[in-house]
Amino acid sequence: MTEPQPALLTSEPPRPVADEVAPPRPRHERPAGALTRRIALLLLAAALGGLWLMQYRDTQNLRDEVSKQLADAERKNIETRAFASKAQESVQEVQAKIALLEARLAEAQTQQAALDALYRDLTPSRDDFTLNEIEQILLLASQQLQLAGNAQTALAALQTADARLQRNDRPQFIGLRRAIARDMDRLKALPYVDLTGMSLRLDQIISGIDRLPFAFEERPAAAAASPSAPDLPAWRRILGAFANDLRQLVRIESLELSDAPLLAPAQQYFLRENLKLRLLSARLALLARDAASFRADLKAAEEWLRRYFDVKAKGTQVALTTIKQFQTSELTIEMPDLSGSLTALRSQRLARDRGPR
């Protein structure tokens, strides 16, 4: 507190004081208020200093902690970078090894594919073997139809091919089996002509030509001897036998061929051989299904049999009956081809060659 300044001396007279001035405080009360204020200020300053010191200490601690964490983070970052570098090097090494293994694997696969192709070329698969077998069977059946006209043999061949495909039981062969079934139905619908049986019967006639008697060699049938009664006397049995022998000395009968040609032994031989040749020619025409030549040869053979041979002989009658039956037989049958089965087989083989095995 400042002490009151003394009144300035002026020339003006003092003004009258309206109110009475308050008496000054006692001197002993002034230091206590000032001290209190100073203590308060000191306490406030100490509190602020303590607060600042605590804040500084916390800040310093925080800085130290942050610095420590940053150092740890930096160290860990360095370690991580080193580990990442090593890991990257390891990855590069692994990638190089993988690339090398892939190259070797590709090379091995190429070699395996080449070996598989070579093996397939050298050793046909089961399906290829089956198709080759079916092709051979179909070609055989086609030859039997076109060359020999043997529908039964061709039908048996087709049935064998179908059974072979049925045992294989592969779904890709269904179309081929369907085509073979259609060709089998066409063959079953054909009229049956037993060419083999007719050929064998002609062979029997040819083999019996040498035993056929000629017409000029015809002899009357021997008269049956009358049985002699066992109770007759011996002289009567002898007399009856003598009478039978006497009747055999002279016999008069009418022959069917009044002008039966007489043939010398050489002519008889050539006649038999020419007749055999005629029948052999008829047999060849039968196998070739040449109906015109077959009937012409049979007609000539029939004429020769009726003109030169004994028609009453059993062998001649059998030959004439057989020739007559053959002349009415129908040989000209239009044989179907097996183009459907062969086309289906070739399509199956082409699809197999184009597709993956």
Q: Are residues 204 and 110 both part of a single domain?
A: no
Q: Using one digit for the tens of pLDDT, what is the confidence trace for 54-73?
A: 888 888 888 888 888 888 88
Q: Are residues 211 and 295 both part of a single domain?
A: yes
Q: Which domain holds residue 144?
A: 126-191+337-354
168 within domain boundaries: yes
Q: Are residues 349 and 290 both part of a single domain?
A: no
Q: Which residue has the higher pLDDT, 278 or 15?
A: 278
| pLDDT above 60: residue 274 | yes
Q: Are residues 197 and 278 both part of a single domain?
A: yes
| pLDDT above 60: residue 213 | yes
| pLDDT above 70: residue 251 | no
101 within domain boundaries: yes
Q: Are residues 314 and 204 both part of a single domain?
A: yes
328 within domain boundaries: yes
Query: Tokens 């601690």 sit at which residue?
Result: 61
222 within domain boundaries: no
74 within domain boundaries: yes
pLDDT at site 8: 40
**Is the whole model's pTM more than 0.75, yes or no?**
no
Count of residues making up the chain: 357
Q: Using one digit for the tens of pLDDT, what is the confidence trace for 232-242?
A: 777 777 777 77
Give 299's pLDDT tier (boundaries 50, 70, 90). Answer: very high
Q: Are residues 164 and 84 both part of a single domain?
A: no
Yes or no: say if 332 and 291 are a contact pair by the CB < 8 Å rule: yes
Q: Are residues 328 and 349 both part of a single domain?
A: no
Q: Give the domain CATH number at 144.
A: 1.20.120
Percent of the chain residues past pLDDT 70, beyond the cut? 76
Give 254's pLDDT tier (boundaries 50, 70, 90). Answer: low
Lowest mean pLDDT: which of 10-19, 161-170, 191-200? Answer: 10-19
Distance CA 158, CA 139 (A): 10
Domain termination residue (choose one: 62, 87, 122): 122
Q: How big is the CA angle at 350 (ends 348 and 356), to the nearest 5 degrees?
A: 95
Q: Are residues 58 and 138 both part of a single domain?
A: no
Domain termination residue (choose one: 103, 122, 141): 122
Interval 273-293 mean pLDDT: 88
Question: Which class for 280: exposed (0-12), middle (13-18), buried (19 or more C-beta within 10 A)?
Answer: middle
pLDDT at site 279: 92
Give 7's pLDDT tier (boundaries 50, 70, 90). Answer: very low
Q: Are residues 197 and 328 both part of a single domain?
A: yes
Q: Which residue has the higher pLDDT, 30 or 281?
A: 281
Q: Are residues 265 and 312 both part of a single domain?
A: yes
Domain termination residue (choose one: 95, 122, 149): 122
In one-letter notation, the amino acid at residue 144 is Q
Yes or no: say if 191 and 334 are a contact pair by the CB < 8 Å rule: no
DSSP H helices in 144-230: 151-168, 174-188, 195-207
Q: Are residues 186 and 211 both part of a single domain?
A: no
Yes or no: say if 226 and 241 are a contact pair by the CB < 8 Å rule: no
pLDDT at site 273: 92
| pLDDT above 50: residue 119 | yes
Indicate the number of domains in the chain.
3
